[in-house]
Structure formats: C-alpha cells, structure tokens
Chain A
Amino acid sequence: MTTESLIWLIPLPPVLAFFLIVLFTNKNKALSHSVAVGAAFLSWLGAMIVFVRALGVEHLGEHPFESSINWLPTGETWLKIGVLVDPLTAAVLFFVAWTVLMIFIYSIGYHNYGQPAGDHDHKGLPPHGATVEEHGHKRVVPSIEPMYSRFFAFIGLFAFGMFTLVVSDNLLTLFVGWEIMGLCSYLLIGFWYGKPSARNAAIKAFMTTRIGDVFMLIGIAFLYSVTGTLSFREIFSEEILHTLASVPTGVFGLSAAGLIAVLLFIGTVGKSAQWPLHVWLPDAMEGPTPVSAMIHAATMVSAGVYAVIRMFPLLTAGWHEGAALTPAMSFVAFIGAFTALFAATIAVAQNDIKRVLAYSTISQLGFMIAALGIGAYIAAVFHLITHAFFKALLFLGSGSVIHGMEHGVLHTGNHNVDPQDMFNMGGLRKKMPITFWTFLIGGFALSGFPLVTAGFWSKDEILADAFVNGHMVVFATLAIAAFMTAFYTMRQITLTFLGQARTKEAEHAQETPFTMTVPLMILSVFAIGYGWVGIPEHFPLIGGLVPNWFHEFVGGTLAEHPPVLEFNIVPLLTSLVVALGGLGLGWYVYRNVNSPAEDKLQINVLKNKWYFDEIYEVVFIKPALWFSEVFVSQWMDKGFIDGILHVFGPATGGVGSAIRNYFDIPFINRFLGDGTADATWWVGKNLRPIQTGRIQQYLVLSLIVLFLVGGLLYYFLLA
C-alpha cells in the first residue's frame, strides 16, 4: 500500500470503532473494548509504518508524503483537502499513536473490566463498589463502570479527531479535527453526567475553548479571503508569506501574517488552556483519569500547540533568526511565559493529585508557547513530544494511585475520605511499587532531572534558546517556573508516596492490574529515552556522540533549517540548579508535612487560583446570564416580540370581529344572503298569482309579451 493511502487510513479505525460500539457492540463490554483497542492498535500500526517510511526519505520537508483531493468547488478553483506527512507530522504521529494506544489499554483496567456490577451503580455516576461474598464474609470490591462501552466509543471518536488534525494538510480539516476533539472533551469531561460538577465542568470547557475557536475561525476566514487557499504548502510558499508579512492591517500595528497568526493563536489559548482562557482545564479533572491523560497530555492540548507550531512560518513571517521579535511573536511569548509562571504558582497550593498535574500541564504548555514565541521551533516541538509522554505517564500514574486509594476506601467503607486528596495518602511506595517508580520517572522528567530524563533535554533547550538569543525576561520567567515545577512535583511525590500512610485508606491501598501498570512502564521508557534523540551537538562530553537526529529531522520541516544553537554554560547551569534545587527543596520541606495546616504554602490566593474563576463569574458570566435571562428573554422576547404578537392577536381579532359585525353580518348575511332570499321569495310570492291555471289569462299575457318583444325587435332591428 502506498504511504499516501496509508496516511488517509490512519484516522479511520477509531471512528469506525466509535460507530461499531455505538450501534452494535454497546451491550458487550469485552467486545467494545476489543474493538476500541484494536482500532487504536491499527492506527498505531499505520502511524508506525508511516513514521518508519518517513524516516527513510531524504529531505522529507521538501518532498513530504502528501495526497489531496478536490473537495469544495469555489468558482474557478477547488478547495482541496488532503493529508500531509512532513517531518513535524511524522514526529507528532509517533507520540500521538503511542500515547493513544497506551491510554486505550489503560482504560480497560481503569474502568474495572472483569469486576462485578456495582450494588447501586447508576449510569452517569462513578461506580461505587460491589459487595462480594467470599469465604463467608463480605467485602466490597471495585465495580465495573456502568457506561463502559460508551467510554470506549467516545475516546475512539477523540482519537479520530486527533489523528485527523495531525495528518491534515490544510486548516479546514485541522479545524474539523479540532472541533471534534472539543466535542469529545465535552462528552468525556461530562462523562459522569450524574454529577453536577462534571456537567458544569463540561460546559465550562466547551464554552471557554469556544471563545478561542471563534477567533481561530475568524483567522482562518481572514487567511482564506486574503490568500484564497487553506493548504499549508500553498500558504507557506515564499510569495504568499512575503505578501502577508508586508501588508499592514492597522490592528495593533500587525501585518496580515501577524494578525492571522494572533487570531489562530487565540484558538490555541483556548484549546491549550493558556492564560486567560485557562479556567476550564483544572475543572476538566472531573472526567475519568484516562480522559485527563488523553485531553491534557496526549491529544487535545497538544493539538493547540501543534497548531501554532504548524503556523510557525506565518507567525515568524518577516522575522529571521537573531532579529527582534515581531509584535505577534512578542505577544505569543508573553502569553506563554506568563502562563508558565502563573500556573506554577497555583500548582504549589493544590491538594488534589490531579489538579497539581492539571496546572502543571498549563505551565508546561506555557513553556512550549513561549518557546514558539521566541522562535525556538525545534525546542518547542521537542518539549511537546517529551511532555506528551511524561504527562500521560503522570496522569495515568495518578489514576493508578486513585484506584489504589479507592480500593482502600471500599475496604474501610468510609466514603467521606477523598481518594484524590494527597494529604490522605502517604507511604504508597510500599503498597504500589510499579506505580511509584513510574510516577517517579515521570515526575523527574517533568522537573527536568538531568541527563536521564527526556524532560531535561527539552526544557534545557528552551532555556538555552531564550538565553542565547537574548530574551532575558522570558529566560528568567521560565527558569523560575521550572524551579517551581520541580518543587511542586517533589511535593506531590513526597506527599503521595513517601513517608507513612496518613489514613487507613492509604494503608489498604493495592497495586493496580497489569492493564494499568504495563502502559505506565512503556511510557516511562519513552519518558527516559526520548530525550536522547535530541542531544545538542555542542553539549559538553556527550554532545556529538549521538547525532542530534531530532534537530535534523524536524528542522527539515521549515523552509529554512533552524540554526544549531551554540552552547552556553549559563542555561545549562540554570537548568541543573532549578531542577535539582526544586526537587531537593520540595522533598526537604514536605517530608514531614502531614496535613494542610502544616503546609505553609496553602495561601488562599494561590489555592483559589488567583480568583480568576470568581472574576470571570462577575465580569462575564453574570452579565451574560443577566443579558440572556433578563434582557433578551424577558424584555425583548417576552416583552417586545411577544408584545408585538400580542398586539397582532387582539388586533386581528378586532379586525376580524369588526368585519364580522359591520360587514359580514349586516351586509353579506342579511342584505346579500337573506336579502336575495327574501327578494326571491318576494318575487316568487308576487309572481305566483300569475299562474292562475286560467288559460285565457295565459293567452293574454303571452300575446302582450309577444307584442312587446315584437315591437322592440321591430323598432330596433327593422326600423
């Protein structure tokens, strides 16, 4: 099969799985997960084959695998849609395929396949345990998720959206994949729809990303109107980029390219939860943990960053390495750096194990966005991929921890204990060793532990790029954020795994089944090893031993190969200091902290996320609700429009009754209707006497008439 046909087929198995599960295999749990995992496997296989083939192509950036079809006739030309695999796509396909497959397999165990149905489990609420009779005494065991098949259907659709976005060669299908993932995030965050918090979180996620999507759509429309095309290869041609870069739009001094890039970037601000549209991501933790892994690590937020990476030529139109940043790039860098620091400050005060990871994701995405803003293309892509691996690992690990804690909760029967609160955990390294070690690897990768973790290489590259190119503010911000990242990560690991169990539930925690631990192990391999494909050339000692395959390969995507950074000791030292220092400090501070009261960093401002949710509530949501409920619904709709209609009704009624009473009844009914009847009756009554039955009278009458008619005829016709 040609590579191009294979690329078209990659997104297909998951969406087929979606339809099959929804329509046919809904009732059969085993069949549903088999279909879903089989589909993920097929997509993985296709992606791997394409990746391997892509590796073998010289200058893939100039001759990518591409295939497009004419789709929408627009006057003289066609709008084409199609697939494209250039180096960027190949690298992204790699991690998307792996993480998706791991998450699919993990979900089997997470939703307790093989366990009995719960005692009083309802569809729409998380499962609550089943009582099992064993050797005479009863135990409560985790129960299977009632909506098991539905979950796999939804994540199948989600995977379809992501694959579509990744392999598409034009902004239209990218946006289609984007929106499909938005829908799936709504469906999956609100998976347990029986919980009001989940419902609200789903709506919040959808609405917030929608705001970003509106601007993105405006950007796409603007781009189309200016260039007449949406295909990447055509947009990124020299002439079009040059034209776009030189046309001023008058909006904040941006050129057309800059404005379009900013508009598209706002879509990413929504989708990748950057400040100020970050508010949905922490609430999205309401969804099951595989969903969090999927949305916040492997797919959706990565899609946002991917979109900006894809539009990098547009963003940097008119810029070249070493020059001052364009206004668009400055904007992007500011948002990225600010978000990185902002989210990190919140993460240090969170107690829920998933919330820490959520804010950590926002912060790390800020790193990537900042990298793109300063023009560090390779660093951003590198960090995207390594982050996907270790964040997926961390999320799945946290899910494993929560499962272990829930086991303990079911054992003790005390449902007031929150299995997600880190202060209820402790000492879990003994109870859940695999989870502990894989989580540790992931956490170290996130913190940037030197050399042996992938996160170190990617984060270091961003810091190096910032420092060497002179963007000191960005460098300092990101360094502080990196320090805080290491700090809160170690805080998380210490509170969760180290020390002693703080609650009975933690004492009775259990390791999770192999369907959950195997994906953790596989992902940790990548979390460790992926960094080594991108070792910079000029790194002391080990640089140059292994070629910087990543830089070579992915750098070929751009028209101009990004230059190799010269080595500078300062960013490297900074990375080492912040990573090790943060980790050390975190362990040191939290090794003896056993409750929130002892935690000095439980500052209200940080705990309450700088009150942004409250600010948005007052500034946007309440006015919007007022507008819709009072202004539109009551005043305009019920008052004005209904008022007009209420005028019409009685008015028409009045006109109708007026016509009835003044015209219909007197004139038509009485005068015409009854009148003709009366007239006819009267005529008849008065004519009837003519018919006397007396022949002589008949004769007289007929002769008279004869004379009259004859006379008339005579005078008019003959005379």
Chain B
Amino acid sequence: MVPLSWYLIFAAALFSIGLFGVLVRRNAIAILLGVELMLNAVNINLVAFWRYGEALAMTGQVFAVIVFAVAAAEVSVGLALVISVYRRRNTVVADELDMLKW
C-alpha cells in the first residue's frame, strides 16, 4: 500500500541529489556520477508510473529500457571524452576546462 507519491518524492529527491552533484563537484567524472543518479531517478519515475498506472501497457518499462541504453551510451562516450581531455590537458577538474567561452 505504498502510495505513488512516496515513489515520486523518492525519485525527486534522488534527482535533486544528482543535480547537486552535477552542479557542485569539481571532478569531471564526479559530474558524470551525478548524471547517472539523475538518470536513475528518471527510471524510477517511469517504472513507478508503469506500475501505478495501466500495468498491462508496458510502455513504462520499455521507456526504462531505452533509458538504460541511452545511459550506457552516454556514460561510455562521456568517459571517453573525459579521458581524451585528460590526455590533452592533464586535468579533469571541471573548473579548469573553461574553453567554452569567447
């Protein structure tokens, strides 16, 4: 008898924590960790809605599966990027990767 709201609040909290990590951590990999947390929160939301909605329609789970795939792809590419940047600039501190300006 767990109300849906608990799951949603749980997912929201997880998402916020992940967001906090993205915004605050200095290490680029730590940022990606935060991103992973956010994706997981999203997945929980999706599955919760599947379960608490029309359970026979597998849309929620399908979406969650797709998100898995996307998350995996994103992590691999992201980490490849971080490694490549590290090789060039010898740093993974996000603050030092500040070329996205004029």
Tell me if A694 and B102 are in contact (CB < 8 A). Answer: no
Tell me if A693 and B98 are in contact (CB < 8 A). Answer: yes
Q: 24 A-B Cβ contacts within 8 A?
A: A691-B101, A693-B97, A693-B99, A693-B100, A693-B101, A694-B94, A694-B95, A694-B97, A694-B98, A695-B94, A695-B97, A695-B100, A696-B22, A696-B23, A696-B24, A696-B25, A696-B31, A696-B94, A698-B100, A699-B22, A699-B23, A700-B23, A703-B19, A703-B23
Give Cα distance in the complex from A695 to B94, angstroms: 8
- Identify B98's interface contact among A692, A700, A703, CB under 8 A: A692
Chain A residues within 8 Å of B102, by CB? 691
Residues facing B in A565-621 (CB within 8 A) are none
Residues facing A in B70-102 (CB within 8 A) are 94-95, 97-102
Please indicate which of the listed interface residues B25, B31, B95, B99 has the most CB atoms of chain A within 10 Å of its own CB.
B95
Chain A residues in the interface with B (C-beta under 8 A): 691-696, 698-700, 703
Rounded to whole Å, the gap between the CB of B82 and the closest CB of chain A is 12
Total A-B Cβ pairs within 8 A: 29
Rounded to whole Å, the gap between the CB of A368 and the closest CB of chain B is 108
Give Cα distance in the complex from A388 to B98, angstroms: 118
Chain A residues within 8 Å of B98, by CB? 692-694
Chain B residues within 8 Å of A694, by CB? 94-95, 97-98
Chain B residues in the interface with A (C-beta under 8 A): 19, 22-25, 31, 94-95, 97-102
Give Cα distance in the complex from A695 to B96, angstroms: 10
Chain B residues within 8 Å of A703, by CB? 19, 23
Give Cα distance in the complex from A694 to B102, angstroms: 12
Chain B residues within 8 Å of A696, by CB? 22-25, 31, 94-95
Rounded to whole Å, the gap between the CB of B92 and the closest CB of chain A is 13
Given contacts A693-B100, A696-B24, A699-B23, 17 further A-B contacts (CB under 8 A): A691-B102, A692-B101, A693-B97, A693-B98, A693-B99, A693-B101, A694-B95, A695-B94, A696-B22, A696-B23, A696-B31, A696-B94, A696-B95, A698-B100, A699-B22, A700-B23, A703-B23
Rounded to whole Å, the gap between the CB of B37 and the closest CB of chain A is 15
Give Cα distance in the complex from A696 to B31, angstroms: 9
Please indicate which of the listed interface residues A695, A698, A703 has the most CB atoms of chain B within 10 Å of its own CB.
A695
Q: Which 3 A-B pairs have the closest CB atoms?
A: A693-B98, A693-B101, A691-B101
Rounded to whole Å, the gap between the CB of A687 and the closest CB of chain B is 12
Give Cα distance in the complex from A698 to B94, angstroms: 12
Chain A residues within 8 Å of B24, by CB? 696
Chain B residues within 8 Å of A700, by CB? 23
Chain A residues within 8 Å of B100, by CB? 693, 695, 698
Chain A residues within 8 Å of B97, by CB? 693-695
B34, closest chain A residue (CB) = A696
Please indicate which of the listed interface residues A691, A693, A698 has the most CB atoms of chain B within 10 Å of its own CB.
A693
Give Cα distance in the complex from A696 to B30, angstroms: 12
Chain B residues within 8 Å of A691, by CB? 101-102
Give Cα distance in the complex from A700 to B31, angstroms: 13
Chain A residues within 8 Å of B25, by CB? 696
Give Cα distance in the complex from A297 to B94, angstroms: 121
A700, closest chain B residue (CB) = B23
B26, closest chain A residue (CB) = A696
Chain B residues within 8 Å of A699, by CB? 22-23
Rounded to whole Å, the gap between the CB of B78 and the closest CB of chain A is 12
Please indicate which of the listed interface residues B24, B31, B99, B100 has the most CB atoms of chain A within 10 Å of its own CB.
B100
Give Cα distance in the complex from A693 to B97, angstroms: 7
Chain A residues within 8 Å of B31, by CB? 696
Give Cα distance in the complex from A698 to B31, angstroms: 14
Chain A residues within 8 Å of B19, by CB? 703
Give Cα distance in the complex from A696 to B26, angstroms: 9
Chain B residues within 8 Å of A692, by CB? 98, 101
